[in-house]
Chains A and B, each alone.
Chain A
Amino acid sequence: MTKILSIKDLHVDVGETAIVNGLNLVIESGETHAIMGPNGSGKSTLAKTIAGHPDYKIRSGKIIYMDRDLSELSIEDRSNLGVFLGFQYPIEIPGLSNTAFLKAAINAKRKYQGLDDLSASDFLIDLKEKSQMVDIEQKFLSRGVNEGFSGGEKKRNEILQMLMLEPTLAILDETDSGLDIDSMKVVASGVNAFRNETTSSLIITHYERLLNYITPDYVHVFHNGAIIKTGDIQLAKDLEDRGYEWLTNP
């Protein structure tokens, strides 16, 4: 096993407010970690900080991804090195077709790797196969990125992008929120298809529901910007039964 992500005593500020306070986390290849926690506990901040969102400033501590200090890498280089963020609220880009967007993203990564552009036919074959996996109709692909998509469609589209870009580390930020049970199953099967011994996932969620379909290796409870308890799937089930109160306010 290789260390994919290693977070050491991380402190993150948004503006003047400290959101993440002394977080430690190690993710090895092949592992799936779930982070659970009440609203405002800093879960999404962690996701955006790893991806390099400029509003989130690292005050101290380090995020090491595959032996590289992420704070030294640009947003797009992090992506091209295999860090994927599934957004909680995927933004619309009107008029830019999903297909054109995905192609640009894939070819950006290939360029970074010193490869030629993917041929149109290889791209389309791959796209067709993977869009079927997440139950996205062909006609959606010619529509603008997330333009007029329902909540479920947006989230499935995030999973499609993840499958197409084949990242090493997938961070899914509340991908399950607002999904009906069918969409959730689709999302879960997409994530399970992505899992293998060389990839890792960090799944941020409110509810245990999604974890019934994606069984994580570890479940962490996040509170006040740090992990206060780590366990396995049983911890998620306990949280479902008892809420967060017994941990956050013992």
Chain B
Amino acid sequence: MKKNLMNDTNNKNKEINEFLNKSYEYGFTTEIESETIPPGLDEEVVRLISKMKNEPEFLLKWRLKAFNQWKKMPQPDWAKLSIDPIDYQSISYFSKPKQDDGPKSLDEVDPKLLETYEKLGIPLHERAKLAGVAVDAVFDSVSVVTTFKDKLAEAGVIFCSFSEAALDHPELIEKYLGTVVPIKDNYFAALNSAVFSDGTFVYIPKDVRCPMELSTYFRINEAKTGQFERTLIVAEKGSYVSYLEGCTAPMRDENQLHAAVVELVAHKDAEIKYSTVQNWYPGDEEGKGGIYNFVTKRGDCKGENSKISWTQIETGSAITWKYPSCILRGDNSTGEFHSIALTNNLQQADTGTKMIHLGKNTKSKIISKGISAKSSQNTYRGQVTMSKGAKDSRNFTQCDSLLIGSNAGAHTFPSIDVMNPSSILEHEATTSKIADEQLFYCMQRGISEEDAIGLIVSGFCKEVLNELPMEFAVEARALLQVNLEGAIG
């Protein structure tokens, strides 16, 4: 079959289609019995969520304010996305999973899933947790977490679920919540503010370099964060933290709509590195059943010399809508955005960043790599603003698109506003296609077509993969391969 691969353009497309056609065989679902509020959203539901979490009064008030705001807003309509209508009243806004129900050990887990973990190189002690094995059965994992928690406590780092933080550190939550992404910011941020289920809180004290990568893998006290996740990370003066969200293992979720909010605050001389791997269920070949991932992520480089760096690998979801952004408020602050967005079948990704330069001598760097296969649509949308006061600020933007086959789409919408004469901006963009001759070259060297596409794509993404922590980069590379091959016949 392969030798006829490139017989002619039509045939080629057909072959590539078959190649990309492999269904999402690694998806999985865990049946979880849960305490669930019946579907629907009104003020009572918001009150109930807050009550079930024993939240302090200020948080309830904040949620109600957000709810009232949300009611007044229309759902936005995007030029490049086609979104089926969402029935907000059919969603259940609170669901508390029971922990004691999952499989008791890895022996009870679907062997196909374990095979994927193997392919992705996920360490043994993490596999059990990812597969939903009941926590108390996972001895390895528990001991890892205990050592981990001890180490963090020693450094004074707070790393806990958002719900816990609301109870244990209400003053920090009250001080920072909504300061980077205000309630009114956008429709989905308002919705999240009203009904957010849970999420993560991280606080790094002054001059502390967080002794390890903080990964959601380890946040074991909170098994499922649900569809309206809220994350808040505060780095005090002179501190450093690297945070990893998501995982390369495929995550299936019954909730169609995910509307998360992430807020980062970096004080003077602080640095936050935020890495995401998003691999939620993309839907079947006809696009049915995939997740809508509408996320608002923003960082505030509040102090001088602060730095926020976003790295994201987006391979999942039916629709991805997210623009991790930086407000460069402090003088000499730096914002970075490194992104790989891979779309296959009917997936749509509309992602990019906003770099808002306010302080003097601020710098930003944007590296975006979009890969589109089959009939998917991949859009980079970015904004760089150099305000009046952002003297001598600089931006470098590089947007590269790679097309696989002839039916996929790549689009780039950069927007640039410069309000002072001393700023310097550079923008580079390329669009390329995996060339038949590149595939022939690889295959002549004995490499299968699947592996050749994987190699060419990882080469294309190299600059972004290099930004990830070492062991994560290996997984991410495997993930790109699996999602192409895994999308492949």
Q: Identify the B interface with A (CB < 8 A).
A: 1-7, 435, 437-438, 440-449, 451, 455-456, 458-463
Closest to A85 in B: B444
B460: chain A residues at CB < 8 Å are 94-95
Inter-chain CA distance A87–B451, complex, in Å, is: 20
Q: Does A96 touch B at the CB level, under 8 Å?
A: yes
23 sample A-B contacts, Cβ–Cβ < 8 Å, listed by A number: A52-B3, A54-B7, A55-B6, A74-B3, A75-B2, A75-B440, A76-B444, A76-B449, A79-B446, A84-B444, A94-B460, A95-B461, A96-B455, A96-B458, A96-B462, A100-B455, A104-B455, A105-B445, A105-B447, A108-B451, A112-B446, A144-B459, A145-B459
Q: Is the CB–CB distance between B455 and A73 below 8 Å?
A: no
Known: A93-B441, A96-B456, A96-B459. Contact between A76 and B446, CB under 8 A?
A: yes
Known: A95-B459, A144-B459. Contact between A108 and B6, CB under 8 A?
A: no
| Binary CB contact string for chain A from 58 to 100 against chain B (1 if under 8 A, 0 otherwise) | 0000000000000101111011100011010011011111001
A93: chain B residues at CB < 8 Å are 438, 441-442, 455-456, 459
Q: Does A161 touch B at the CB level, under 8 Å?
A: yes
Closest to A94 in B: B459
Q: Is the CB–CB distance between A51 and B444 below 8 Å?
A: yes
B448: chain A residues at CB < 8 Å are 76, 108
Inter-chain CA distance A91–B443, complex, in Å, is: 13
A85: chain B residues at CB < 8 Å are 444
Inter-chain CA distance A148–B110, complex, in Å, is: 47
Q: Is the CB–CB distance between B6 and A91 below 8 Å?
A: no
Distance between A121 CB and nearest chain B CB, rounded to angstroms: 19
Q: Is the CB–CB distance between A73 and B3 below 8 Å?
A: yes
Inter-chain CA distance A145–B1, complex, in Å, is: 27
A165 touches which of B5, B441, B445 (Cβ 8 Å): B445
B461: chain A residues at CB < 8 Å are 95
Q: Is the CB–CB distance between B437 and A91 below 8 Å?
A: yes
B2: chain A residues at CB < 8 Å are 74-76
Majority SS at the chain B contact face: helix
Q: Is the CB–CB distance between A108 and B7 below 8 Å?
A: no
Inter-chain CA distance A95–B6, complex, in Å, is: 24
Most buried by A among B2, B437, B445, B451: B445
Q: Does A101 touch B at the CB level, under 8 Å?
A: yes
A95: chain B residues at CB < 8 Å are 458-463
B1: chain A residues at CB < 8 Å are 74
Q: Does A223 touch B at the CB level, under 8 Å?
A: no
B462: chain A residues at CB < 8 Å are 95-96
B3: chain A residues at CB < 8 Å are 52, 54, 71, 73-75
A79: chain B residues at CB < 8 Å are 443-446
Q: Does A229 touch B at the CB level, under 8 Å?
A: no
Most buried by B among A74, A84, A85: A74
Inter-chain CA distance A104–B448, complex, in Å, is: 10
Closest to B434 in A: A93
Closest to A106 in B: B446
Q: Does A109 touch B at the CB level, under 8 Å?
A: yes
Q: Is the CB–CB distance between A87 and B455 below 8 Å?
A: no
B7: chain A residues at CB < 8 Å are 54-55
Closest to A112 in B: B446
Q: Is the CB–CB distance between A80 and B446 below 8 Å?
A: yes
A144: chain B residues at CB < 8 Å are 459
Q: Does A53 touch B at the CB level, under 8 Å?
A: yes
B438: chain A residues at CB < 8 Å are 91, 93
Inter-chain CA distance A71–B4, complex, in Å, is: 10
Inter-chain CA distance A96–B3, complex, in Å, is: 24
Distance between A57 CB and nearest chain B CB, rounded to angstroms: 8
Inter-chain CA distance A85–B446, complex, in Å, is: 11
Distance between A44 CB and nearest chain B CB, rounded to angstroms: 13
Known: A87-B441, A90-B441, A95-B462. Contact between A108 and B447, CB under 8 A?
A: yes
A97: chain B residues at CB < 8 Å are 459
Inter-chain CA distance A145–B435, complex, in Å, is: 14
Closest to A55 in B: B6
Distance between A166 CB and nearest chain B CB, rounded to angstroms: 11
| Binary CB contact string for chain A from 147 to 191 against chain B (1 if under 8 A, 0 otherwise) | 000000000000001000100000000000000000000000000
Q: Is the CB–CB distance between A54 and B446 below 8 Å?
A: no
Q: Is the CB–CB distance between B451 and A104 below 8 Å?
A: yes
Inter-chain CA distance A84–B445, complex, in Å, is: 7
Closest to A108 in B: B446
Inter-chain CA distance A105–B445, complex, in Å, is: 6
Inter-chain CA distance A143–B455, complex, in Å, is: 14
Distance between A118 CB and nearest chain B CB, rounded to angstroms: 13
